Amino acid sequence: MNEQMHIPPEDWDLIEQYLQGQLPPDAAAAFEARLQADEALAARVAEARVLLLGVQEAVLKEQLQQYHKEWSQVQPPVKKQAIIHQLWRWSAAAAAVLLLGAGIWWLTTGSSGSEKLYQAYYKPDPGLLTAMGPATAYAFEHGMVAYKNEEYPQAIEQWQPLLLATPSADTVRYFLGMAWQAMHEYDSAANLLRPLTADASRAFYKEASWYYGLLLIRSGREQEAIGYIDRSSQPGKEELIHQLNK
């Protein structure tokens, strides 16, 4: 606490503006020169960076929950009964031909049943809503824009240093896992998501459980996946568990 009192109040404003990329170039250069010469100030800036990321993480988590709620209300899950009802409207002859073709495809395709089930239920996390502009300095938000544009390597490039600097940042960990999973780098995704599924108090516990469960399904570990799928709050989880228990 005494160390904080040696920093004039105006420096706290400078720290916030510096971390948000709001300082003019000359002022930013002068502040960085101070950081090089003042170890105490550099330490406070580093701490402020972590605290600011934590505040962002809490806000972004709330935004994600609200977005998922609104998205699920606008796009309700397709019911299996509705699909079956629609199929019944086809003629018997056409249905027989289609089923025969589907059976041949199932036997000849190189994809396993686990892979097909994974593909049927996997849909990339839509990401967070963000109102950032191109001049925004936050690496996380830059990464989120790239992620939402399906530019996953660019998102990973932005987020990986953040996770290395702050391993406890669950938001960064979760979306890094999402980016790797979307790129079909399944082991990398699983390694990032697994810690989030071990503690119900962790941010993105339910979301990570769903996607980690899907990864287990893809790897042929269907029975192990059931527990993770059941922890999630995804609308289609009951139907998926039913499929896994067949």
Domain range for 140: 119-244
Helix %, strand %, coil % for the chain, to 5? Answer: 75, 0, 25
Answer yes or no: do 42 and 90 share one domain: no
> Does 224 reside within a domain?
yes
CB proximity list for 52: less than 8 A, separation 6 or greater: 16, 19
Answer yes or no: do 231 and 208 share one domain: yes
Contact 161, 53 (CB under 8 A): no
Q: Of 2-6, 24-28, 45-49, which range is least confident?
A: 2-6
Q: Place 63 in a pLDDT band, splitting at 50, 70 and 90.
A: low
53: Cα within 13 Å, side-chain hemisphere: 23
Answer yes or no: do 12 and 93 share one domain: no
> Does 234 reside within a domain?
yes
15: Cα within 13 Å, side-chain hemisphere: 21
Measured from the Cβ of residue 72, the count of other Cβ atoms closer than 10 Å reads 13
Answer yes or no: do 209 and 94 share one domain: no
> Does 156 reside within a domain?
yes
Q: Of 78-92, 215-229, 230-244, which range is least confident?
A: 78-92
Report d(CA 58, CA 53) in Å as an integer.
9
What are the distances in angstroms from CA 241 to CA 73, 150, 196, 214? 22, 29, 21, 11
> Does 74 reside within a domain?
no
Kindly tell me if the per-residue pLDDT of 209 is higher than 80.
yes
> Does 68 reside within a domain?
no
Answer yes or no: do 124 and 237 share one domain: yes
User: In the chain, how many domains are there?
Assistant: 3
Answer yes or no: do 227 and 132 share one domain: yes
> Does 137 reside within a domain?
yes
Q: What is the pTM of this model?
A: 0.57
- In sign, the C-alpha dihedral spanning 198, 227, 209, 71 is negative
Q: Which residues of 104-130 are buried (b: 16+ CB within 10 A; e: fewer)?
A: eeeeeeeeeebeebbeebeeebebbeb
